[in-house]
Amino acid sequence: MKIFGVAGWSGSGKTTLMLRLVPALVRRGVRVATLKHTHHDLRFQDSESVAALEAGAVQAVALSPRRATMMTRAEAVDLEDLLTRVRDADLVLVEGWKRSGIEKIEIVAPGANESLLHLDQPQVVAVACDFRGEVHGLPCFRRDDVEAIADFILSRIGC
């Protein structure tokens, strides 16, 4: 299983890119799983599973005819632990975890005022912004050029 990250500051377009990358990679025959880090609390329809966590369970699993979900207390989980739980995927796209040690593409929003991650993180291997070319020695893709970004990811991870 290969791992590749999509990182950037809030509002940069990480989720938009992720949601466009998944079908682009699936069309190339890649089985994709996604992991997302968020600062917002998660809400689920199945309130009984959420209630089980709030009652002290370390994990709650719910199964319907079409889907299964596993919820775990956040203090018991980190990125490496989550990655061990992924099954049946060729590639895990990780959204967020901008300071993690996994290789990633940095998404830079137009007019961004935040510091650029790629300046001090060698794990950033490409940048997606508003132009194509090179930024500080890294390949730079247009944020909307999903096909080129998908091709880059696959070449980078060896698929």
Q: Is 53 helix (H, G, I), strand (E, B) or coil?
A: helix
Q: What are the strands of the beta sheet with 133-135, ordered from one edge?
A: 32-36, 91-95, 2-7, 104-107, 124-129, 138-142, 133-135
pLDDT digits (tens, 9 = 90+) for 60-103: 788 788 987 777 776 656 778 777 878 899 999 999 888 889 99
Span 2-40+73-157 CATH architecture: 3-Layer(aba) Sandwich (3.40)
For residue range 33-58, list pLDDT tens digits in order.
998 876 555 565 556 777 787 788 88
pLDDT in tens, 124-150: 999 999 888 888 899 999 999 999 999
Is the pLDDT at 120 greater than 70? The verdict is yes
pTM: predicted TM-score of the whole model, two decimal places = 0.83
- pLDDT confidence of residue 79: 79
Beta-sheet strands, E only, within 41-99: 59-63, 68-72, 91-95
Instruction: Give domain limits for the chain.
Output: 2-40+73-157
Beta-carbon contacts of residue 149 (< 8 Å; ≥ 6 apart)? 17, 21, 24, 105, 126, 128, 141
Report percent pLDDT > 90 for the chain: 45
pLDDT score of 126: 96
Range in 18-22, 52-56, 150-154 with the lowest mean pLDDT: 52-56
pLDDT of amino acid 45: 57
Q: What does the angle CA 104 – CA 105 – CA 106 come to, to the nearest 5 degrees?
A: 115
